[in-house]
Structure 1
Amino acid sequence: MSKTMSIIKRSFVLAGIVLAAHGCTLDVTPTDKYTEETIFKNPENMELYVAGLYAEFQTFKFGQFPIGYSNATDALTDIEKYTSSTSGNGTVNILAMDASRVNAAGPQLNYWSSGYARIRRINEFLSGLYKYAKLSDDAKAMYEAEARFVRGYTYFWLVKLHGSVVLMPGLEDYKEKNRQRSSEEDCWKYIAADFAYAAEKLPVTQPATRTGRATKGAAYGMLARTWLYAASIAEYDKKAYNQDPLTGVAAASAATYYQNAAAAAGEVIKLAGEGIYGLEAKFADIFLKRDTKEAIFKLDFVAPQFTHQYDFGFTPPGDIPGQGMVYGVPTAELVNEFEMADGSKFSWSNAAQAAEPYKNREPRFYASVLYNGASWKGRTIDSKAGTGIENFTEYGISSEPKRTVTGYYIKKMLDSTNINFVQNKSIQSWLELRYAEILLIAAEARAKSNNIGGAQEALNTLRKARYLPENAPGDVAGLMKAIEHERMVELAFEGHRYWDLRRWRKAHTVLNGVRFTGHKITPQGAGFKYEVVPADNANRQFTPALYYIPIPQDEIQRNTAITQIQGW
């Protein structure tokens, strides 16, 4: 068993010990039981406890969401289509097409209970750390930084969903059972404070014995992401979608928060200049190389103890006939967004491009999408319309088609060398935060701060690494259009698209009253006919109310001081 796995498993045992200790009401120290004091006095226990906190990042690995499927939120958008139409495997489609399924009584898009359970564990750790731990001040600061890094991440998800949530800074706050939500702006500031503290105290790199732990660059990266979200809400929301007095961010704060985001991203860029981070020469290597410099914070997996099933869920069915799932596939909208190799826009109106649409496309296309005629594991993908195992089938004809409903399969993050993933499962790393995202954050935050040259530099640094020509307009509107395109393509299937459309307040226009599409491919003469066909059998729905997901009704019933977000 690896050291990492040993730490993770033992940390869960320790967590149980700590919980048991909380149940003791005697004033004397028992001789046959663990107490908080004895636990925190042992440095090894401290290491185990902190390692266990990092389990929270498992919740959202591979773009997953608490509804239980990888790439789930991308499948709520225009870049991916889930193939199933049944509850469970097809819950994403149900949510995408029926906004009423999201409500205070239902479990959908609900992270409240598990998120606050993690926050409670973190606050317990911080309390014990300063009460009982026999450590140097520097060691205590390091552990506090790691705990606050995880707490900041946990709150980040809660605030992305609900905007205004309950802040619980320490254990003393639990003495008051009923607490009202804090303002959304205060929530973003609180998250930023956790990441800022972590950035100050964490090292630039961690030793090999602490692989997978947070670093200074990871904390600055999360801080940049946090301020970008806060700034976006300040600029784009303007109380147009919800009148709750606690949601929204003051418009006057936008400029400062964009500057904060640019500054935090700049700290990561400085570390890249020192050789800590960098961009891979080959796009596919980012997701398969264990030592990729693009990774700022990632989860590593080790067989057989610590694995995942991303390949099983998304690989083309020819890999494991009759066994795979093919949960989600790329849409035509995403495929069309990838540029030509020379940086020009792909267009079906261009006769030459339309005749051979998969020829001379940019490198990211070939690393992200499996198309008709693509080479994969020693065979040629056949995604034409038909009855073959990998052929296109119309969405809704079968409730569980387990093959493409758009004419494409996802390639990004799949391991082409793993041919026994049913038995062995998968071990490619999940990159929660990578350097390309930092450059895109820097580009957006600098553009919004009227640092046009700085925005152009960040954007073009990324494009040149992807073997594309510079494309950085000289005005803010043009830069934002270019940045939105880059985020859609560069970060596809990594769980960003849905949240980007929400923070830009574009989701109610891009994801509402539309049906996304695929390409039905049939032989025609010496070539093929490419027909645009709906991948949805009903219009998508995203109502403005969904910018703030309701607080679960059972929480409202338990906490008499908290009010539901207006509109729910």
Structure 2
Amino acid sequence: PTEALVEKYTLADGTEFDWDNPAHAAAPYDNREARFYSTILYDGAPWKPRTDDVVKFDQFNEIQAGFYTFSDGTIVNGVDTRQGPVEDWNGSRTGYYFKKFVDPAIPASWPNNLQKIDAPYIRFSEILLNYVEASINTNDEGEAKAWLNRLRFRNGLPEVTESGSALLELYKRERDKELVNEDARLFDMKRWLEGPYSLDKQVQQVVVQGTQKPGTSVTPETYRKDTALFDYTYTPTNIVFENRIWQDHVYFMPIKQEEIDKDPSIIQNPGY
């Protein structure tokens, strides 16, 4: 997951998260809406027990996506970072992992305990969201709000008060959050003609730094996320590991060559 996705999750009271708000920036993973905790794994998030070779780095079954400095100057790279002590090449580049559709009851053991889960083709939530979008597009805002509120109330969020273009933007964010990992985002992006806006953004990670507080007692072997023992800072940072450039021709699918062969007068879509 990228920070662009994580930022879409509001606080529990529906307030938009804002890195420029000092209170939000000081504790970005506190008091977020319910879907955040069921979808995203972040630094300090509780997770499944570690395997025998990893438990010595994490005895408390928590995601370690940060870097922790102890009073004696020792710096520990979190086990889930790309600088960690185990399979660093496999660590997240952004500091986040997906929790959605992952069974926490299955031990983290490769390759003995592989998760098998049926991927939903369509959920009732998507049907409701489709209806909300249709209602907005037919100027029936009352119907759109009524059904959008059903989804929001399920997640403990307040009722919708927006209208017009603000309602449409709120709906899009709700859809993005609700349908994460359900193969909807690409098609939504194309339908809304938002390719450049969505893909031409700079990818960011959040660098988590923990510094042990003076007078406290803790060792690297017994580290866990604890604001009573450590001061934490969170810094959104631009990263470059792949060039994401949107090209407008991908709004359309290419016409199969076999169809063109049947009728040479057919002109291939631009860009293919």
TM category, shorter: 0.7 to 0.9
Distance 1:551 1:447, change over 3 A: same
The letter of the residue matching 1:336 is E
The letter of the residue matching 1:436 is S
SS of alignment partner, residue 528 of structure 1: strand
* 2-structure distance, mates of 1:476, 1:466: 23
The letter of the residue matching 2:63 is I
> 2:260, 2:267 within 8 Å by CA — same for their partners in 1?
no
SS of alignment partner, residue 342 of structure 1: coil
SS of alignment partner, residue 520 of structure 1: strand
Aligned 1:236-247 pairs, distance under 5 A:
none
Residue 476 (structure 1) shift: 2.7
Alignment match, 2:99: 411
List alignment gaps of at least 5 residues for structure 1.
1-329, 395-399
Residue 393 (structure 1) shift: 5.1
Q: Deviations over 1:7-56 (max 9, x none)?
A: xxxxxxxxxxxxxxxxxxxxxxxxxxxxxxxxxxxxxxxxxxxxxxxxxx
* 1-structure distance, mates of 2:35, 2:129: 16
Query: Are residues 1:425 and 2:114 paired?
Result: yes
* 1-structure distance, mates of 2:119, 2:17: 30
Residue 426 (structure 1) shift: 2.1
> 1:392, 1:520 within 8 Å by CA — same for their partners in 2?
no
* 1-structure distance, mates of 2:26, 2:127: 37
Distance 1:492 1:451, change over 3 A: same
* 1-structure distance, mates of 2:89, 2:263: 46
Percent identity of paired positions between Structure 1 and Structure 2 = 33
Say how many residue pairs are matched. Answer: 231
Runs of 4+ in structure 1 displaced over 6 angstroms? none
Q: Deviations over 1:202-226 (max 9, x none)?
A: xxxxxxxxxxxxxxxxxxxxxxxxx
Aligned 1:511-550 pairs, distance under 5 A:
511-512=199-200, 514-524=201-211, 526-550=230-254
> 1:384, 1:407 within 8 Å by CA — same for their partners in 2?
yes
> 1:464, 1:470 within 8 Å by CA — same for their partners in 2?
yes
Alignment match, 1:206: none
Query: Are residues 1:370 and 2:41 paired?
Result: yes
List alignment gaps of at least 5 residues for structure 2.
50-60, 68-75, 214-229
> 1:472, 1:482 within 8 Å by CA — same for their partners in 2?
no
* 1-structure distance, mates of 2:180, 2:232: 27
Q: Deviations over 1:185-216 (max 9, x none)?
A: xxxxxxxxxxxxxxxxxxxxxxxxxxxxxxxx
> 1:556, 1:563 within 8 Å by CA — same for their partners in 2?
no
Aligned 1:14-29 pairs, distance under 5 A:
none
Richer in helix (by share) = 1
Distance 1:557 1:444, change over 3 A: closer
SS of alignment partner, residue 121 of structure 2: strand
Aligned 1:192-211 pairs, distance under 5 A:
none
The letter of the residue matching 2:156 is Y
Alignment match, 1:358: 29
Match of 1:384 among 66, 69, 76: 66
Distance 1:457 1:443, change over 3 A: same
Residue 342 (structure 1) shift: 1.1
Task: Decide which structure has the larger Cα Rg and report it.
Answer: 1
Distance 1:393 1:549, change over 3 A: farther
> 2:249, 2:270 within 8 Å by CA — same for their partners in 1?
no
The letter of the residue matching 1:408 is Y
For normalisation by structure 1, the TM-score amounts to 0.38
For normalisation by structure 2, the TM-score amounts to 0.77
* 1-structure distance, mates of 2:260, 2:140: 48
SS of alignment partner, residue 90 of structure 2: coil
Alignment match, 2:150: 461
